[in-house]
A and B are shown apart, each in its own frame.
Chain A
Amino acid sequence: MHPANFAIFGYGRPDPTKFANDVKGMKEMAKVIDHYLKGKHWISGESFSLGDIFVGCYMLSAFQLVFDAGFRKAMPNLTSWFERFCQEPTIIKRFGHIKSCKKAMKAGAAGPPGNAKPTPKKEEAKPVAAVDDDLDLFGDDNEEDAAAAKAVGEKAKAAKDKKKKVVIAQSLVLFEVKPLDDTTNLDDLAKRILGIKMDGLYWKTEYKKEPVAFGIFKLIIGVTVEDDKVSVDAL
Chain B
Amino acid sequence: MVADIAGADVEVVVSKEASKSISGRFPYLEITDGVIISEAEAIVKHIARMNNSAGLLGKNPFDHAKINEWIAWS
Q: Which of A32, A33, A43 has the most CB of B within 10 A?
A: A43
Q: Is the CB of A51 within 8 A of B1?
A: no
- A213 within 8 Å of B (CB atoms): no
Q: Is the CB of B57 within 8 A of A49?
A: yes
Q: Identify the closest chain A residue to B63 (Cβ).
A: A44
Q: Is the CB of B70 within 8 A of A43?
A: yes
Q: Is the CB of B63 within 8 A of A50?
A: no
What string of 1s and 0s marks CB contacts (under 8 Å) between B52-67 and chain A?
0001111100010011
Query: Residue B67 contacts which of A44, A91, A183 (CB distance < 8 angstroms)?
Result: A44
Q: Identify the closest chain A residue to B15 (Cβ).
A: A185
**162-212 of chain A: CB within 8 A of chain B:** 183
- Shortest distance from the beta carbon of A204 to any chain B beta carbon, whole Å: 28
- Shortest distance from the beta carbon of B8 to any chain A beta carbon, whole Å: 13
Stretch at the interface among A53-61, A141-149, A152-160, A217-225: A53-61
Kindly state the separation between the CA atoms of A189 and B44 in the bound complex, as whole angstroms. 29
Residues in B neighbouring A120, C-beta threshold 8 A: none
Kindly state the separation between the CA atoms of A51 and B26 in the bound complex, as whole angstroms. 22
In the complex, the 8 A-B pairs of residues with the closest C-beta atoms, listed nearest first:
A51-B67, A58-B74, A51-B70, A183-B14, A54-B71, A55-B74, A47-B55, A54-B74
